[in-house]
Amino acid sequence: MMAARRPRHGLFGGTFNPVHVAHLRAAEEVAEALEIERMVFVPSASPPHKSGDASGPIAPPELRLAWLLEAAADNPRFGVDPTEIERGGVSYSVDTVRDMAARVAPERPIFVIGWDAFIEIESWKDPATLFTLADFAVMTRPPVSDASLASFLPSCIRAEARVAPDGSSAEHGSDGAWIRLVPVTPLDVSASDIRRRLREGRSVRYLLPDRVHDAIVASGLYGPQPPSRGATPDADPASDTPEDR
Ligand code: ATP
């Protein structure tokens, strides 16, 4: 069994369209709980699942990146990695994690993910490899259930996973790779709700860091959209692709 060496790196991927207080608070709590020394946010370039929806468009990658940099700037533990945006095209988490794993070896990075995204991981590119490259911190997110990890492990590791009796963690493979459920303060904030409020001309103050809030409002990006401009939110050509993250 290969012992992981400190410091530990967390990799927190997402669309961050836009970054909001629940992302930041959850990252802070996971870093504290798992003694993660460096929590790296990785905004996706061209998310396979999301081309914008009824709540509004996907902001250009350079804006989502700029807002994340602003949001992370005053936290010495936080960093932002523009790898996926620089790589361009469709982003696959397995490639990003492989890069980070090579950089921090022999440490194994911790992939930080909300449970709503985790239960879809089966559909991502090469999940079996992803689970060999990183340990997993699965954050609770409203609506929070008390289900055991056993009930939502992906099939690629389900058979070999050794789930703890309390259902909060599992080990798999021969080198002690683990998955942990990490309870975080339930904040029912979502980027789609923020986009929807902006589209309707409503306030989003306090759902985002102040400077991010001000930059987004100044950009006018998410609305309110006058009807005459007419572009349908789903018209973005970077739409769903057969393969996932
Ligand atoms: P959208 O509403 O557009 O789907 P989102 O708010 O879920 O966006 P993402 O960028 O898709 O934001 O999320 C990145 C990661 O952060 C995902 O793993 C997601 O589960 C997690 N996450 C997002 N919001 C929360 C929250 N309120 N509490 C805990 N985790 C969250």
Q: Which tens digit of pLDDT belongs to each residue from 83-93?
A: 999 988 888 99
141 lines ligand 1 (CB under 6 A): yes
Residue matched to tokens 């992906």: 154
119 lines ligand 1 (CB under 6 A): no
Mean of per-residue pLDDT scores for the chain: 88
Contact, 75 vs 36, CB < 8 A? no
Pocket test for ligand 1, best of 15, 84, 193 (most atoms within 8 A of CB): 15
User: In the prediction, which pLDDT does 196 show?
Assistant: 95
113 lines ligand 1 (CB under 6 A): yes
Ligand 1 centroid to 23 CA: how many Å? 7
118 lines ligand 1 (CB under 6 A): no
Dihedral sign for Cα 108, 68, 16, 59, please: negative
Ligand 1 centroid to 99 CA: how many Å? 23
Q: What is the mean pLDDT of residues 90-116?
A: 95
Pocket test for ligand 1, best of 21, 141, 184, 185 (most atoms within 8 A of CB): 141
For residue 12, which atom of ligand 1 is closest to its CA? 15
Ligand 1 centroid to 16 CA: how many Å? 8
Q: Kindly report the protein residue whose alpha carbon is nearest to atom 29 of ligand 1.
A: 141
Helix (H, G, I), strand (E, B) or coil at 185: coil
Nearest-angstrom CA–CA distance, 245 and 241: 10
Q: Averaging pLDDT over each range in 4-18, 66-80, 139-153, which range is the top one?
A: 66-80
**23 Cβ contact list (under 8 Å, min separation 6):** 12, 14, 16, 41, 71
pTM, two decimal places: 0.89
Q: Which two tokens stand for residue 205?
A: 């103050």
Q: What is the mean pLDDT of residues 204-225?
A: 93
> C-alpha 157: how far from its chain's center?
21
- Among 30-34, 47-51, 177-181, 194-198, which stretch is predicted with the lowest mean pLDDT? 47-51
Ligand 1 centroid to 110 CA: how many Å? 17
- Among 153-157, 159-163, 180-184, 239-243, which stretch is predicted with the lowest mean pLDDT? 239-243
Task: Domain 9-183: state its class.
Answer: alpha beta
Residue 52: band (very low, low, confident or very high) from pLDDT cuts 50, 70, 90 = low
Q: What is the mean pLDDT of residues 95-115?
A: 96
User: In the prediction, which pLDDT does 23 show?
Assistant: 98
User: In the prediction, which pLDDT does 77 show?
Assistant: 97
Q: What is the mean pLDDT of residues 118-138?
A: 96
User: In the prediction, which pLDDT does 100 show?
Assistant: 96
Residue 224: band (very low, low, confident or very high) from pLDDT cuts 50, 70, 90 = confident
Residue 240: band (very low, low, confident or very high) from pLDDT cuts 50, 70, 90 = very low
Residue 229: band (very low, low, confident or very high) from pLDDT cuts 50, 70, 90 = very low
Ligand 1 centroid to 111 CA: how many Å? 14
196 lines ligand 1 (CB under 6 A): no
